[in-house]
Amino acid sequence: MADVVLVDKNDNEIGLLEKVKAHLNGGNLHRAFTIFIFDKNGKTLIAQRSIKKMLWPLYWDSACASHPVQNEGYVEAGKRRLLEELGFLCDLEVIDRFEYKEKYQNLGSENEVCTTLIGYFNGDIHPVSDEVADYKWISIGNLKKDMVKNPNKYAIWFKIALDRLIDQGKIKQES
């Protein structure tokens, strides 16, 4: 199991910790990322987390969310995980960063400095079942409507990242 990069509130590396341990109890602040992928029609790719995930299994998420390893940049990590989880590559760009903390049942917590990446892709997707239970393309408007109607179906960091991108005008909430 890979280590996550522990950071301070300014995203400066302060150490490494095994991934599961970093998510136990209140969680240790560490680096993470979430990736928004859009197609030529402006729809975004969302992925349902595998049942095998320790935290938030079967919740809907952005196309991909994970952690960079030591000495790995966010874009490099994002490309690595897109290929490992969904079987494709595309250019990625860093567009936002935020910190959040959220407990999941009695199993653990997220405590992350989360960087948001964005990319564009029109091609075949090959999800890996250990990572992704399902996926679909959806408009931002319909996604937001479903998040309001079914808030407990979506990973917390995904909801935070999406709201921030809409509030900042970086993506539009059209139906």
pLDDT for 47 equals 98
Calculate the dihedral angle through the C-alpha atoms of 144, 149, 152, 154, rounding to the nearest 10 degrees.
-20
- Closest among 67, 78, 77, 70 to 32, alpha carbons compared: 67
| Residues listed for the chain | 175
Q: Which of 62, 47, 73, 18 is nearest to 157 (CA)?
A: 62
Catalytic residue flag (residue 112): yes
Q: Please state the pTM of the whole predicted model.
A: 0.95
CATH number of 30-92+115-167: 3.90.79.10
Pick out the chain residues at pLDDT < 70: 1, 174-175
- pLDDT given at position 175: 47
Torsion of CA 85, 90, 91, 95, to 10 degrees: -50
pLDDT of residue 2: 81
pLDDT at 107: 84
- Give pLDDT, residue 173: 74
Catalytic residue among 13, 76, 110, 112: 112
